[in-house]
Structure 1
């Protein structure tokens, strides 16, 4: 099964699992690093929202309505999404520790150490039908339970914020790779605004020291990256 990752700037990603498309935290409008608009998303099967800060909720509602994708979010956010126009039949509200299956993909919601206007912030551990496992951390600081994630899941790639100030910085994110025992890591949530770390080199350097077995994939905005397994 082919697995692809397209970074749309900040924490906005399009993930391909075979013929299924997962859109995560689709922040397009107001995203200075995005090279496309949300209307460019012509196909989506699943939309994942980690929390409802504007730079993560983004255009999740618009994309779900336009494509018919199933929107997955914290349970407390469901009412707000319905009020915004998403069909109730197209929303799955869940909570920390729960697992749902959507389009053959196992989606487990896990904690994130952050804040949220509604409910709680979250991350996701996604396992496709061929066993490929992706951890999307969302906005988070470093926390020790990441070690449990690495013990309970065989993580192929971890998608981690590295920008600092509102999330982990590159050093903490590299230590997260050590805890997670992931084979590869994709840095995100950096370079978008002046207050954040501006590049990935610090993360690459810290990973070389703290988690040398982890390969860092520094993605170029708007360019699809195909994972090899």
Structure 2
């Protein structure tokens, strides 16, 4: 997996966005690593094993379904990462063996609302339209030093309040579910680009199970019609997109 932590003289560290299959991502910048929904064990699309993940500073969990909580507890114990989850899900993780000191705010977790800073990386917990075994499903808007901003929608249907997030937080990269059935499908995800207004979109939550869309072709076509100004990048599991501050990017 590619890593890029230097963007050039006078620029903020680059943010390397690596897809780990399904809804799992690794975001790395300036020596810090953020994991989102690290379902590794049992994930047929995962390019890594839990043993391969030796560094994580923050783990963001969008909701309490097996394919999103995944290996959060094991990875947090191995790396000392701070786990962020909605209040009730944080309680479930603690009951399942995650030490409270590994959970945001001493075991409380948090709820949908404003920004929280962890070692210079801020995250906003956003609404999502879905279900969860505990608590509410959520998404995250993550902003790195220098201003690079990534939105992980979590599992969600399309909803009009997405436009508020696009207005409040200029989104460089939106990570959007497109598989249908349990989340937005290709048409809805393409329409969400009008609301979110990201510079770049990366599709996720497809190709993992037979009941999901098996590729991103329909999303790419729909996005070109709906929001031609948005760059769509389709990653293979294990591939990375490098966001260089607000000025440029590359895919590896």
Q: TM-score range by the shorter chain?
A: over 0.9
2:70 alignment partner, one of 55, 58, 62: 58
Aligned match of 1:16: 28
Deviation at 1:99, TM superposition (A): 2.1
Range that drifts further, 26-35 or 108-117: 26-35
Q: Distance in 2 between matches of 1:103 and 1:170?
A: 35
Aligned to 1:146: 162
The structure 1 segments of at least 4 consecutive aligned residues displaced by more than 4 Å after TM superposition are none
- Structure 1 segments unaligned to the other structure (5+ residues): none
SS in 2 for 1:160: strand
Give the equivalent residue in structure 2 for 1:36.
48
Query: TM-score, length-normalised on structure 1?
Result: 0.97
2: CA distance, partners of 1:84 / 1:103:
26
Task: Give the counterpart of 1:203 among 216, 219, 243.
Answer: 219
Aligned to 1:184: 200
Question: What is the aligned length?
Answer: 229
Match of 2:85 in 1: 73
Please state how far the C-alpha of 1:81 moved relative to its aligned partner.
1.4
TM-score (norm 2): 0.89
Distance 1:153 1:104 in 2: 17
Q: Is the 8 A contact 2:89 2:135 kept in 1?
A: yes
CA distance in 1: counterparts of 2:165 and 2:93, whole angstroms: 29
Aligned to 2:236: 220
Q: Deviations over 1:18-77 (max 9, x none)?
A: 211000001111211112211110100000000010000000010000000000000112
CA distance in 2, matches of 1:189, 1:213: 23
CA contact (8 A) 2:80 2:102 kept: yes
Secondary structure of 2:192's aligned partner: helix
Q: Is the 8 A contact 1:163 1:169 kept in 2?
A: yes
Name which of structure 1's ranges 76-85 and 125-134 shifts more when overlaid on structure 2: 76-85
Q: CA RMSD in A?
A: 1.0
